[in-house]
Amino acid sequence: MVKLIIAANWKMNKTRKEAASLIKKVRPILNNKQREVVIFPPFTCLDVVSKLLKGKSAKFGAQNMHYETKGPYTGEISVDMLKEVGCSYVLIGHSERRINCNENDEDVNRKIRTAVENEFTPILCIGENLDERESERTDAILEEQIRNGLNGLTKDKVLKVVIAYEPIWAIGTGRSATTEQASHAHSEIRKLLTNMYDRDVAQKMRILYGGSVTSENISSLLRGKGIDGFLVGGASLKPDEFIKIVKAKPKVVR
């Protein structure tokens, strides 16, 4: 059975000292046998997190990277630089980068391919905004982002990719998708992957949900069909809250 992934996206939060303090506070879940915990700290904290996770089963990754391995790209960071500090994961295509940094599907695809070719596990973030959901375009938007993001990847290579469905209207808003909404999106994603590759690939690929995940709603979300884990934002910055999320079990419905 594949372990659920619980990924913590710290975004632009935590100094090196604060990062060390947070990692020490969540120590009880860093060797979790049932869940694969992945921490995504800011670039400046990667080495600190690396040292504190040494000997633990928890992994860590970068929140972004460039698709070129070196060159005149001021302010960017390469896959080789991330390898050197021990990263094994990288977030790619997060909506905040698509919106704030004008990243398009071509940029995302080039990054995904670079990550896979360098033995990284990229988490491809996809999701619709509120207008797109209300106009019933969610499935079309997800299909466009997935087809473009995975363009050129063979069956063997695409299995290294993790997909994170993060509806933009639920990120940092306190408004999470319902279990039914998340399950529907994950089901449609697997249907698309079956069409693009085959059923075996679609079933093996891991698909996460992200968007205002908390210790209060995760037990319900865990009941969602086809949800292989969660990408947690703000709640991952609160030690007690994140520990509860990692330890959470599906809500029993009577």
Q: Where are the beta strands (DSSP E) in 71-216?
A: 89-92, 121-126, 162-165, 207-210
DSSP annotation of 152 reads T
**Is the torsion defined by CA of 74, 75, 79, 80 positive or negative?**
positive
Residue 227 identity: I
Distance set, CA 77 to CA 26, 62, 151, 221 (Å)? 28, 10, 23, 34
d(CA 90, CA 75): 17
The 3-state secondary structure of 217-242, one letter per residue: CHHHHCCCCCCCEEEECHHHHCHHHH
Q: Residue 139 in contact with residue 127, Cβ under 8 Å?
A: no
* Residue whose pair of structure tokens reads 């596990």 in the numeric block: 121
Element (H, E) at 47: helix 46-53
d(CA 181, CA 22): 32
Catalytic residues: 94, 166
